[in-house]
Amino acid sequence: MTETRPTPPSPTGDPATGGAQGAAQSAERGEGHLDNLARLHRMSRTAGLGSTDYAAVNVPAVMTIIIGAASVLAVITPIFLFIPVAGVVIGIIALRQLRASNGTQTGTTIAVIGLLACLGFSAVSGYKVLSELRREARDKQQLDGLVERFGATLSQDKIDDAYQMLDGRLRERVTKPIFEQFIRGQYVAAFGPIKSMKATGIYEIQEATDDTGMRMAAGVGFVSTERFPSERALRTNFVYRWSGEDWKIFNLPEWFPPSKEPAQTPGGPPPTGPQGPPAPAR
């Protein structure tokens, strides 16, 4: 009699059921792998680039250090003040780019040095400009006051005091008797006694480039007299010279024009008198 052995059950059971279970298990394993990947720390795209042997030099940083060196020109003359100003702007741009580069660019040190140089030279140049503006304003105020005092002194017929307001070189050329003769004689005869003087407030001031420190100025003043009381009736040109302490009247071309004769040696004859007062302004 033939013995029949029982067939062992299939580990997967029914083929259809087994296939579905296998697919489910594979899906679970796949999701597990995805979960493991998701748990990994996400790194930056540029991670590790900052620690490599190569890092690009920031171009604005290089420009900043170059402009910082060239900013010394602004100290020589204020016309180049725009150079350090541009360097400050470029330096700020360079620092912002370096901060956002995550270490892929270098040049922070030279950018900071260039930026400090631009700030330093611009500060020195700006201080010089402000000092010049203050001195120019002070000079204009003193020159305006000099013209007004000169006119007030002459209106009071204080010839001695008015003569002391003239520069020493003008007093060498125009003696006190000539000055008095012109003011009390020719000028009064032509226009009447002087009432006042007033400057326009516009001056051309020049300074010597050598070590003498000599400063000259030129401007226009108007004389008011009893016969011509208008403030702008009589126009007179003034030339001034800085004496080291205050401004003096260096020349009055219409009142005392330079002599056309050859210059006399010391001890020679005195210069000729004035040619006459100027005509009224029209």
pLDDT in tens, 89-144: 999 999 999 999 888 899 999 999 999 999 999 999 999 999 989 999 999 999 99
Percentage above 70 pLDDT, the chain: 72
Q: Is pTM beyond 0.75 here? A: no
* Whole-Å CA distances, 6 to 1, 3, 9, 28: 16, 10, 9, 34
Q: Which domains does the chain have, with CATH numbers?
A: 56-132 (no CATH), 156-251 (3.10.450.100)
Q: What local confidence, expressed as pLDDT, does residue 124 receive?
A: 94
Question: In whole angstroms, what is the distance from residue 64 CA to residue 75 CA?
Answer: 18
Output DSSP code: residue 237. E
pLDDT in tens, the chain (282 residues): 455 555 555 555 454 445 555 555 555 555 555 555 455 555 554 554 444 557 899 999 999 999 999 999 999 988 999 999 999 999 999 999 999 988 889 999 999 999 999 999 999 999 999 998 999 999 999 999 999 999 999 999 999 999 999 999 999 999 999 999 999 999 999 999 999 999 999 999 998 776 677 899 999 999 999 999 887 779 999 999 998 889 999 999 999 988 754 444 344 444 444 455 555 554
Q: What local confidence, expressed as pLDDT, does residue 55 receive?
A: 80
Q: What local confidence, expressed as pLDDT, does residue 273 receive?
A: 45
Question: In whole angstroms, what is the distance from residue 201 CA to residue 71 CA?
Answer: 35
- How many CA atoms are closer than 13 Å to the CA of 136, on its beta-carbon side? 13
Question: In whole angstroms, what is the distance from residue 222 CA to residue 251 CA?
Answer: 15
Q: What local confidence, expressed as pLDDT, does residue 66 receive?
A: 95
Q: What local confidence, expressed as pLDDT, does residue 267 receive?
A: 42
